[in-house]
Structure 1
């Protein structure tokens, strides 16, 4: 283990190992860089070095002055990553997950992957004042901090709990207040699709009463295009301490395809997804490239499914041409299924929105597409226009009759 400094600043980071790829760890609210030691000791992936650092106001940087904002944290953590000068995977816990995303998004040429452990949404939690006050007031209140950590964990060893409380009590009360404001208010980038397009692993503790399944599914996972979620049993908000061996195994598994045996690779440019690219080009041929031969299309504008690549590509080619504009607003993947939310205007300026569910086979081709449109009057108009454009190609019985 060796410690280095970024230029003439007070930003220092610890390095262990001598791999060609760095795995960088960002701690969360009230914590410090040493929280990762039990996890990194259990990683088995070869060819990596581990890097940890303290955010301003925390740990060995507890005397740092403000501001304490996501922008500052990302700038300083990013400066450490730049000083290391290697391709990297970045791991963030709680509010550190937001910092990790900003660092990765700002370095698409070197960021190979992003792991978010019980992540607070980058857009913030927006708790009411009376709820946030409980977190704001934890500086200088060891018993209050201990109670919060117990409430939000499931299997913290007693020694780890003592260690966490001691770390939290090193922070100045005004820093604690500012940090709570930071993760509660969030960052503007969290209100839109993430700029990081690489692989993302989200690890959540099953018993975390703060970062819940609903929070992750609503405000975290949909912002990424290549995301996997795993749930850790008998763990709460500090899953990497409560079940460190299991979290280490998940991280090793995530690292395996990112770091091939023959050495690190540069991240590939994000591959255009056939479905969204086909809509952009309004091209039946591009749709066909995305479909399996036996693809089935179901939609609220259809009264019965359309089957087979040739027929489905004709329907989708015609449908895409009806839209005057279309924007995909959210996307998430769970196993073989991809969920897309979208909003559009159809011919004549008719507003329409909906959800598309794509099911893919092992080769990545779409075997089933289910498209749900709303509102109802837009569904009927769209179906009528589609029937007109496909007359003689697709039977009229597939469309709603006025």
Structure 2
């Protein structure tokens, strides 16, 4: 299978989803009647992060929908509420707009938001693909959390905030294999964060973000789940333990990605693309070929819940 880096096709037209505090930017590629995959970036990222997956997904017969987070990319900067649940509510509205059930592919906090949707609206979700999924907060005393949020306010301020984030993105978060277009992506991130309101929106998200509401709902997720966790991911103090926790908590098929950190989808597309396509091919379909909504018997949750006496 050809997973070599591809020259991106002309950008599709940006569409906008109205929400109470502003508009969410999204794009669609492929036939609208095709089984739909919705790609969700993580904090401080752009929908272009999924560049390496778009062509293979389309070639496999899928409609590919990509979205920007609130205040990110081309989404409005008028939002005051950010985080997993806010993103999850935007995804619910987006999937209702494009038509579900869909498969949600989420990176980092986008993976957490996708899990929340699967718990809250299982009728909309046929499966989950989670990349570098951050699904729980690190245990910290309250003073440490307050100090961390104060540090975010200072670190992600003008004039250095954009440079600070892209240095971290292009450093520890992409340790190991670097995608051939990473420098272009970092330049796009820096340019985006220079736009009015973008850095403030990113800072507000960093300060408001907690995964606790998602962690509390993971037992309600019954969608088949595939997860990719890089061996070098700095978000996890113990990467092996995090993989085991994700596997046991979600009944997920967890793939260890060598020589990758937080973004295996663009660090190691040679691993992520074929495994994702195989996962999608195995999901239940309707008679018309669309994805079918997941039930507990479709996933590893049935065995998990039985073992737990649920």
Fold shared per TM-score above 0.5 = yes
Match of 2:164 in 1: 144
CA offsets 1:333-376 (integer angstroms, 9 cap, x no match): xxxxxxxxxxxxxxxxxxxxxxxxxxxxxxxxxxxxxxxxxxxx
Say whether residues 1:181 and 2:201 are aligned partners: no
Which of the numbers 16, 23, 30 marks the counterpart of 1:5? 16
Structure 2, unmatched stretches of 5+, are 1-11
**Partners of 2:111 and 2:130 within 8 A in 1:** yes
Give every structure 1 segment of 4 or more consecutive aligned residues whose post-TM-superposition deviation is greater than 4 Å: 129-136, 168-171, 259-262, 272-277
Q: Which segment is superposed worse, 170-179 or 22-31?
A: 170-179
Cα distance between partner residues in 2 of 1:258 and 1:126? 35
**SS of equivalent residue, structure 1 residue 60:** coil
Match of 2:37 in 1: 23
Match of 2:257 in 1: 232
Match of 1:14 in 2: 27
The structure number with the bigger radius of gyration is 1
Cα distance between partner residues in 1 of 2:126 and 2:70? 25
Q: How many residues align?
A: 278
Which of the numbers 90, 98, 106 marks the counterpart of 1:92? 106
**Partners of 2:112 and 2:214 within 8 A in 1:** no
Q: Which has the higher contact order (CA 8 A, sep 6+)?
A: 2
Computed over aligned residues only, the root mean square deviation of the Cα atoms, in angstroms, reads 3.0
**SS of equivalent residue, structure 1 residue 31:** coil
Cα distance between partner residues in 2 of 1:182 and 1:41? 34
**SS of equivalent residue, structure 2 residue 296:** coil
Say whether residues 1:244 and 2:262 are aligned partners: no
Cα pair distance change 1:110/1:47, threshold 3 Å: farther
**SS of equivalent residue, structure 1 residue 109:** helix
CA offsets 1:187-226 (integer angstroms, 9 cap, x no match): 32413543220211111112112235256246544321x3
**Partners of 1:31 and 1:167 within 8 A in 2:** no
Cα pair distance change 1:31/1:102, threshold 3 Å: same
**Partners of 1:14 and 1:51 within 8 A in 2:** yes
Cα distance between partner residues in 1 of 2:74 and 2:303? 48
Cα distance between partner residues in 1 of 2:111 and 2:26? 18
Cα distance between partner residues in 2 of 1:228 and 1:217? 10
Cα distance between partner residues in 2 of 1:111 and 1:46? 19
Cα distance between partner residues in 1 of 2:52 and 2:102? 20
Deviation at 1:228, TM superposition (A): 0.4
Cα pair distance change 1:254/1:174, threshold 3 Å: same
Cα distance between partner residues in 1 of 2:71 and 2:92? 17
Cα distance between partner residues in 2 of 1:199 and 1:75? 21
Match of 2:224 in 1: 199
Which of the numbers 213, 216, 229 marks the counterpart of 2:239? 213
Say whether residues 1:161 and 2:186 are aligned partners: yes
Cα pair distance change 1:44/1:85, threshold 3 Å: closer
Cα pair distance change 1:163/1:274, threshold 3 Å: closer
Match of 1:113 in 2: 127
Cα pair distance change 1:259/1:41, threshold 3 Å: farther
Match of 1:40 in 2: 54
**Partners of 1:42 and 1:245 within 8 A in 2:** no
**Partners of 1:2 and 1:14 within 8 A in 2:** yes
Larger strand percent: 1
Larger helix percent: 2
